[in-house]
Amino acid sequence: MQVGLSNLLCLLFSAVLPRTIFGLMSVSRGPPGPPIILVPGDGGSQVEAKLHKQTVVHYLCEKNTDDFFNIWLNIELLVPLVIDCWIDNMRLEYDNVTRTTSSPEGVEIRIPGFGNSTTVEWLDPSRASPGAYFKDIANTLVEMGYERNLSIRGAPYDFRRAPNENGQYFRDLKTLVEETYLLNDKQPVVLLAHSMGGPMSLHFLHGQTQRWKDKYIRSLITLSGAWGGSVKALKVFVVGDNLGSYVLRESTLKTEQITSPSLAWLMPSSLFWHGNEVLVQTDQKNYTVNDFEQFFNDIGYSVGWEMRKDVQKYSFEFTAPGVEVHCLHGYGVNTVESLVYKPGKFPDGYPEFTYGDGDGTVNKRSLEGCLQWKNAQKRRVFHQTFPAVDHMSILRDARTLSYIKNLIPKL
């Protein structure tokens, strides 16, 4: 159907005049609630690399690049043979003297897009579907009247590292909260965090005064918060994780994965697991939360214990955050509870797994850690669970989106 010239002019003026002549009479609707900062979890930030290497691990690997390129999430790099290049560029090297990690010589790493929501909505800049992350949540907010990079912000960080090496990030996050507050008519900010972003946000809030939190933070919304760690972290240390790909070997990816201090941070916490609960069973010894040093020695990775010593204090920082909390997570999904090795198969063989309740990645007891705050702070703690929703699908599940959509106008 064609639109006549007069109708077209009417449409044009109706769109333009409220912003000009009638600007004082008509004000844009704006978001229906407070501004939101998205805090990603492990693997939830884009990563860029620039190379100037002397040697490479494979003839297919590049030695030098003119500029930074996307290394995570880049599906083209996560294929057999080429994955060796990716591993060598993404891995971290631990310094036992400085107690810090660094990239291999000739590799520069940066986390792009701080403050920008799109870099946490899509982990793959090409926006290939496997790289969708906070996309559905951001789209829901935009439909409600939110605006990207104004009332929806993103706070990506180097997820390979734990709080002890992310000090600058926490300082930048504080500045981002204050800036977002000012850009949105001095409305307190909502932190919306996923997975490891939950404990990262908790550590950030512990570092602020109550007066600051009362002024700048409206609430903390968490999805699949890994409050007490996960037994899956132990599984990664011994066999690795294939990221859901059938063409990648767990043992290959393990080479990079175990170099991340954040993995040591996400090991089961003794605040959530008792010392008599067997996490790794072998014919020679059973390992509990009290045996991590011996566990690392026996799998031949003593660096793991050094990293665990650096980060374990953050596992015990579990006092209430001092802000309103909305704690959302799934349950009823098989989640690794322990690793069981047949005689003579530890540590080089492949274990069998026993399963319990959780979201497929984080155990139920860890997901429910937020309940400990209900009687520990004046601010309210809300707890909402979703049956059969796993660790990642919670980001796009209709029930999650509905909860957020209904909550926002009430904040």
In tens, the pLDDT along 3-25 reads 333 333 333 333 333 333 333 33
pLDDT at 114: 98
User: Is position 3 within any domain?
Assistant: no
CA distances from 180 to 15, 151, 164, 185 (A): 28, 7, 25, 9
Domain, as residue range, for 123: 36-410
Residue 341's φ and ψ, nearest 5 degrees, are -105, 140
The rounded distance, in Å, linking the Cα atoms of 210 and 205 is: 9
User: Is position 13 within any domain?
Assistant: no
Annotated catalytic residue: which of 42, 88, 310, 359? 359
User: Is position 174 within any domain?
Assistant: yes
Both structure tokens of 372: 């400990």
Examine the residue annotation and report whether 194 is marked as an active-site residue of this protein.
no
User: Is position 21 within any domain?
Assistant: no
Average of per-residue pLDDT values in the chain? 92
pLDDT digits (tens, 9 = 90+) for 205-248: 999 999 999 999 999 999 999 999 999 999 999 999 987 766 67
Query: Does residue 78 carry a pLDDT above 60?
Result: yes
pLDDT at 9: 31
pLDDT band (50, 70, 90) for residue 130:
confident
Query: Does residue 81 carry a pLDDT above 80?
Result: yes
The whole-number average pLDDT for the span 67-71 is: 97
Number of structural domains in the chain: 1
User: Is position 74 within any domain?
Assistant: yes
Examine the residue annotation and report whether 126 is marked as an active-site residue of this protein.
no
Q: Where are the beta strands (DSSP E) in 224-349?
A: 280-281, 286-287, 325-331, 335-340
Residue 250: CB partners within 8 Å, gap ≥ 6?
239, 240, 241, 242
- Identify the sign of the CA torsion 197, 202, 208, 212: positive
User: Is position 132 within any domain?
Assistant: yes
Count CB-CB contacts under 10 A for residue 128. 14
Annotated catalytic residue: which of 117, 151, 195, 262? 195
Examine the residue annotation and report whether 359 is marked as an active-site residue of this protein.
yes
Alpha helices by DSSP H, listed for 102-229, are 118-121, 135-144, 167-183, 197-206, 210-216
What is the DSSP pairing of strand 69-72 with strand 335-340?
unpaired
| Percentage of the chain lying above the pLDDT 70 cut | 92
User: Is position 26 within any domain?
Assistant: no
The rounded distance, in Å, linking the Cα atoms of 135 and 120 is: 8
User: Is position 20 within any domain?
Assistant: no
pLDDT at 247: 64
CATH number at residue 187: 3.40.50.1820
The whole-number average pLDDT for the span 158-187 is: 98
The rounded distance, in Å, linking the Cα atoms of 67 and 77 is: 17
- Given a contact cutoff of 8 angstroms between Cβ atoms, the answer to whether 247 and 146 are in contact is no
